[in-house]
A and B are shown apart, each in its own frame.
Chain A
Amino acid sequence: MIAWYFKRAIEDILANRFLNAVTIATISLAILIVGFGVLFVENTGDVLAAWKRGARIMAYLKPNATAGAVPRLKWAIQSIDGVATARFIPRDQALAHLRAQMRRQASLFDHLAENPLPDAFEIRLLPTDEGWERIERIAARIGAFADVDDVEYGQQWVATFRSIVDLLRLAGIVTAGLFLLATVAIVANTIRLVIYSRQQEVEIMRLVGASEGFIKAPFYIEGLIQGFAGAVIGLGILFAVFSLLAAGAEQSAVVGLFEIRFLSAEMIAAIVATSMIVGWLGCYVSLSQSLRS
């Protein structure tokens, strides 16, 4: 029976080629947009995760901190849960490092009466999948030590990046939702036109004892096929565009910080399933309006 339903669905698609092509193209476009959004969110998530894995906190000491306080402070910092290492950087070493880094602007340092840099600790954290709260919590504990003047861990950069990512994610969800809704409406219209063209046939089928399920099943399969085809084409285009962009990115400095990757197999399966559900939904909307007995 399933084979019969598929045969009927394929016959309908072939009989209404143009309508179905437009519908599949629309689904492809929606999937392309949704897929692009998911790709962006997954990769920006990777950037943040990569930063988290190698997270570094700088703790700057007060000018009046004594040399004797350094070992005690180092021990206290290393005892904090989640801290991997704490390396002391004396202010002279920091200045030398800065001079080396800014060799071309060496004249800037010529008139310095004294070293303006404070002593500091460079603290590396243990790799973890925990959220930002952990870094913030550790930074707060370090900042609470009496000899620590200030703590810096790129919080401003991270906050800005996170808010941009969150904003884009929200925009992506809204756009994807609107596109998927529009796609449901377009699939519904296509199926409605197919139903109108088969109205007489449907009536005759009812008269010879066909159940509603028997009549409707091919339409649902048609919707699922449209959804599947749209997803495959949309994801195919997305992969082609991604391959081009990724090839360009390999030559840039971005590579090495994190790996640009395509959607995971699970995400591809989820997108295909979503697309098929959209096709099914469009069919459901249309059948419940047009095929009342």
Chain B
Amino acid sequence: MTDRDADNPIIRLVHVHHTYGRLTALADLTFDVAKNEWVFISGPSGAGKTTLLKLLYFGTRASAGEVIVDGIPLAHLRRNGVPRLRRKCGVIFQDYKLIPGRTVFENVALVLEAAGCERRLISKKVRAVLRMVGMEGHADALPPRLSGGEQQRAAVARAIVGDPKIILADEPTGSLDEESARAVLDLLQTAHIRGATVIIATHDKGMIRSIGGRVLYLNQGRIYAAGHVERHYDRMVL
């Protein structure tokens, strides 16, 4: 990360609050994420990790404060601007969110079809990404017939196929065995090496320790601690 990247963050949150009715989900969050940075959002269940990711892909609008993603201020984002924002983000959902009635190939291709890519290019890119995630043999399978690990890899394929600037992953290894979890993380690291900014919400301390990078530790919707894993993490979570 260069000084220029730090001055010109890809994500900026300034005094962000979010509430669900009377329940405060996020309170006074202020932080930046630089381009090509790898960031963990950690914290216990209910800390606000998923809500924070939702704010970033405009799954919900912040109740107050400023959220800027790749230069787009989301407070004033209009409905027709949402697809453009979401094409910048590859999102891996905790529950995968694959369309059950569509094959793995069709699920992954949807991102490129929605972006208006040519059919030939779509076919080429989707097959390449499925090969990369080890799912080329399941291209014609329907998601409900796949194991959790396979569905997660299909979800990763969908998240990276459009070469997004930002990858947002919500508990990407939460329900996976060790081998599948390692494979998914390898894929995310490959995307990161290719230039993507990666933000992972997880409470998996083992994963955070093994990969390293910056971590924001949330508790009750607030940034309880922030710093680099190598230096601060053990102190944060204790």
Contacts and interface: CB of A to CB of B under 8 A. Distances in A.
Interface stretch (B24-32, B108-116, B144-152): B108-116
Given A207-B91, A209-B87, A210-B83, A201 B99 contact: yes
Interface in B74-89: 79-80, 82-87
A4 B82 CA distance: 22
Given A1-B116, A4-B113, A214-B114, A207 B80 contact: no
A105 interface: no
Contacts of B85: 209
Interface in B100-141: 100-102, 110-111, 113-116, 119
Interface in B54-108: 57, 59, 79-80, 82-87, 91, 93, 97-102
Contact of A208 (B80, B101, B116, B158): B158
A205 interface: yes
Contacts of B116: 1
Contacts of A209: 83-87, 111, 114-115, 162
A144 interface: no
Contact of A211 (B97, B101, B114, B162): B114
A221 B168 CA distance: 34
A221 to B, nearest CB: 15
A200 interface: yes
A5 to B, nearest CB: 10
A156 interface: no
Contacts of A207: 57, 59, 86, 91, 93, 97
Contacts of B97: 204, 207
A293 B61 CA distance: 13
A212 B162 CA distance: 19
B79 A208 contact: no
B44 to A, nearest CB: 26
B195 to A, nearest CB: 19
A266 B98 CA distance: 48
B80 A211 contact: yes
B185 to A, nearest CB: 22
Nearest to B89: A209
A224 B73 CA distance: 39
A210 B162 CA distance: 12
Nearest to A15: B101
Interface string A206-227: 1111111010000000000000
A74 B16 CA distance: 100
A6 to B, nearest CB: 13
A204 B99 contact: yes
A198 B141 CA distance: 19
Nearest to A1: B116
Given A209-B115, A210-B110, A293-B79, A201 B87 contact: no
A9 B101 CA distance: 15
A208 B119 CA distance: 18
Nearest to B88: A209
A114 B224 CA distance: 126
A215 to B, nearest CB: 9
A204 to B, nearest CB: 5
Contacts of A206: 82-83, 86
Contacts of A293: 79, 82
A201 B86 contact: no
Contacts of B80: 211-212
Contacts of B100: 200
Interface in B150-202: 158, 162
Residue among B85, B91, B114, B158 having the largest count of chain A Cβ atoms under 10 Å: B114
A210 B99 CA distance: 14
Contacts of B114: 205, 208-211, 214
Nearest to A197: B101
B53 to A, nearest CB: 12
Nearest to B158: A208
A210 B114 CA distance: 5
- Which are the 9 A-B pairs with shortest beta-carbon distances? A210-B114, A209-B86, A209-B87, A211-B83, A209-B83, A201-B99, A208-B111, A204-B97, A209-B114
Interface of B: 57, 59, 79-80, 82-87, 91, 93, 97-102, 110-111, 113-116, 119, 158, 162
6 contacts: A204-B97, A205-B114, A207-B91, A208-B114, A211-B80, A211-B83
Given A205-B110, A209-B114, A214-B114, 16 more contacts: A200-B99, A201-B99, A204-B99, A207-B59, A207-B91, A208-B86, A208-B91, A208-B110, A208-B111, A208-B114, A209-B83, A209-B86, A209-B115, A209-B162, A212-B80, A214-B83
